[in-house]
Amino acid sequence: MAVTELPTAGPDGQSATSSTTGAELVQLLTPEGERVHHCDYDIDLTDGQYRELYRDLVLVRRIDIEATALQRQGELGIWAALLGQEAAQVGSGRAMREQDFAFPTYREHGVAWCRGVDPLRLLGLFRGVSNGGWDPQEKRFNLYTIVIGSQTLHATGYAMGITKDGAVGGEDGEAVIAYFGDGASSQGDVNEAFVWASVYNAPVVFFCQNNQWGISTPTANQTRIPLYQRARGFGFPGVRVDGNDVLATYAVTRKALDDARHGQGPTLVEAFTYRMGAHTTSDDPTRYRLASELEAWKLKDPLERMKSFLYKQQLVDSDFFGQLEADADALAARIRKGCLEMPDPDPLSMFDEVYDETTPLLQEQRAAQAEYLAGFAGEAH
Ligand SMILES: Cc1ncc(C[n+]2csc(CCOP(=O)(O)OP(=O)(O)O)c2C)c(N)n1
Ligand SMILES: [Mg+2]
């Protein structure tokens, strides 16, 4: 079928052939910041916890904006912005318990923040001075993965492994969360991961951020049904949540992870959101999407609705916002300074950690590279 014959996404992002209604979108906070209730997913957080979630949203956005600016100034090779996806990431990231393990794509800066990974570690990767960035075990947050969808297989294998270790079942059980995008949902790897996770009842939550674009490809070219409905065909539950609602993403992910840790197998969570920025700093979305689409989604900004909620519930005063702004400024200044101060690595060090032990082929490549670099000796850079 020609691409032009595929259904286009409606204003709410639902496919024209979709049988879903808005009622299937789990939401606890309207775009105006009104608290709504849901029979299956509800949460009752303390005032402090609500404030903390907003704080996370603000600081994560600030990291993203600062990193984008650093790339524009030539300090990072590239940056994959998360603008608009803060609630999906903070809600799901904060829903994780300490013992849980996350397998990210390349855009999960908000989840990294929730896991306690220093943003400078992320910047080191995008600056090209680090081959990985962090110890995955330390924060139970795996390395960023550029090969679309492959981390869903890693996550599933890991989840099958912890089941064999006896780490699943009960309140202290471990659970795994695999992040991926709407574009990745078409990858063979993702579909294979679904099969394995289902058949082996693996304790893994597949968290799809449907930001409606895979670079310049709209979701309508990936699927004719809402993505969360795909789970049913694989034999596990799927749920669509408002990805711009931090309370809903928290509640839905919390339940899915708890189900997994108690031995009830996988869940697919589709966080319905929107990538307000470019795919990466190398991309220009004005070439392929309408400005009106972006304007419509700006009205659903995840930070604004949480801010309205805090105001309406009288959970904050002006001091709170003033202090948060000062904290965001300090964080931005710290990461900017830290980024500029990162030392360049020895170019030959890239051969050091490919394998635990070196191989003859690697030694050969290392020697060739050393000879090549020696050719520049004495030249000014
Ligand atoms: C296996 C593979 N194929 C293609 C690419 C190139 N690529 C990088 S990002 C991307 C789109 C991914 O879209 P999506 O899964 O929706 O994630 P998003 O970037 O929107 O968060 C593609 C095709 C890749 N990195 N890996
Ligand atoms: Mg996408």
pTM above 0.85, yes or no: yes
Q: Which of the pair, 2 or 145, is modelled with greater confidence?
A: 145
CB-ligand 1 contact for 133 (6 Å cutoff): no
Structure confidence by residue, pLDDT tens digits, 99-135: 999 999 999 999 999 999 999 999 999 999 998 889 9
Ligand 1, closest atom to CA 148? Answer: 26
Per-residue confidence (pLDDT) for residue 23, from 0 to 100: 60
Structure tokens at 118: 């220093």
CB-ligand 1 contact for 274 (6 Å cutoff): no
Average pLDDT taken over every residue of the chain: 93
How far is residue 139's CA from residue 253's CA, in Å, rounded to a whole number? 19
Instruction: Provide Rg for the chain, Cα atoms.
Output: 22
Q: Is 16 left (phi over 0), alpha (psi -120 to 50) or beta?
A: alpha
CB-ligand 1 contact for 271 (6 Å cutoff): no
CA of 337 to the centre of ligand 1 (A): 31
Ligand 1, closest atom to CA 80? Answer: 19
Q: Which ligand is nearest to the CA of 283?
A: 1
Residues catalogued as catalytic = 275, 279, 288
Structure confidence by residue, pLDDT tens digits, 223-278: 999 999 999 999 999 999 999 999 999 999 999 999 999 999 999 999 999 999 99
Per-residue confidence (pLDDT) for residue 380, from 0 to 100: 66
| One-letter identity of residue 234 | F
Average pLDDT value for residue range 315-322: 94
pLDDT above 90 as % of the chain: 89
Ligand 1, closest atom to CA 214? Answer: 13
Per-residue confidence (pLDDT) for residue 1, from 0 to 100: 32
Average pLDDT value for residue range 40-44: 91
Per-residue confidence (pLDDT) for residue 377, from 0 to 100: 87
| One-letter identity of residue 196 | W
Please check the confidence at residue 301 and state whether its pLDDT lies above 50: yes
Four-residue CA torsion sign, 210, 213, 217, 220: positive
